[in-house]
Amino acid sequence: MRKGLVTMYDKTKEYLYKNFNLEGKIIDYVNEKENNILEKFKEIDLIKEYNQYKVIKAMQDNRLSSTDFYWTTGYGYGDIGRDKVESIYASVFNTEDALVRPTIASGTHAITLTLSGILRPGDELIAISGAPYDTLQKVIGVKGAASGTLLEYGIKYKEIPLLNNKIDLNRVKNSISSETKMVMIQRSTGYSDRRALTIDEIEEAIKSIREYNSEVIIMVDNCYGEFLELREPTDVGADIIAGSLIKNPGGGLALSGGYVVGKKKLVEQVANRLTAPGLGKECGLTFGTSRTTMQGLFLAPHIVAEAVKGALLFAKTYKDLGFKVVPDLNDERSDIIQGIELLSPERVSEFCKGIQAASTVDSYVIPEAWDMPGYEDRVIMAAGGFVEGSSIELSADGPMREPYYVYYQGGLTYEHCKLGVLMSLNNLYIKNLINL
Q: Are strands 395-399 and 405-409 parallel, antiparallel or unpaired?
A: antiparallel
pLDDT tens digits, one per residue of 353-364: 999 999 999 999
Beta bridge partners of 340: 325, 406
Q: How many CA atoms lie within 13 A of 316 on its CB side?
A: 21
DSSP 349: H
- Long-range interactions of 349-352: CB distance < 8 A, separation 24+: 349/380, 350/424, 350/427, 350/428, 350/431, 350/433, 351/396, 351/406, 351/424, 351/427, 351/428, 352/380, 352/381, 352/382, 352/396, 352/397, 352/398, 352/406, 352/424
pLDDT of residue 140: 95
pLDDT tens digits, one per residue of 101-128: 999 999 999 999 999 999 999 999 999 9
Domains recognised in the chain with CATH numbers: 3-49+298-430 (3.90.1150.60), 73-296 (3.40.640.10)
pLDDT of residue 190: 83
pLDDT of residue 144: 79
pLDDT of residue 4: 63
- Render each residue's pLDDT in the chain as its tens digit; 436 residues: 565 666 777 899 899 999 999 999 999 999 999 999 999 999 999 999 999 999 999 999 999 999 999 988 999 888 999 999 999 999 999 999 999 999 999 999 999 999 999 999 999 999 999 999 888 999 999 987 789 999 999 999 999 999 998 999 999 999 999 999 999 999 999 888 899 999 999 999 999 999 999 999 999 999 999 999 999 999 999 999 999 999 999 999 999 999 999 999 999 999 999 999 999 999 999 999 999 999 999 999 999 999 999 999 999 999 999 999 999 999 999 999 999 999 999 999 999 999 999 999 999 999 999 887 767 789 999 998 999 989 999 999 999 999 999 999 999 999 999 999 999 999 999 999 999 8
- For residue 57, how far is the Cα from the chain centroid? 24
Segment (H or E) for 217: strand 217-221
40-61 b/e (C-beta count within 10 Å ≥ 16 → b): bbeebeebbeebbebbeebbee
Model confidence, pTM:
0.95
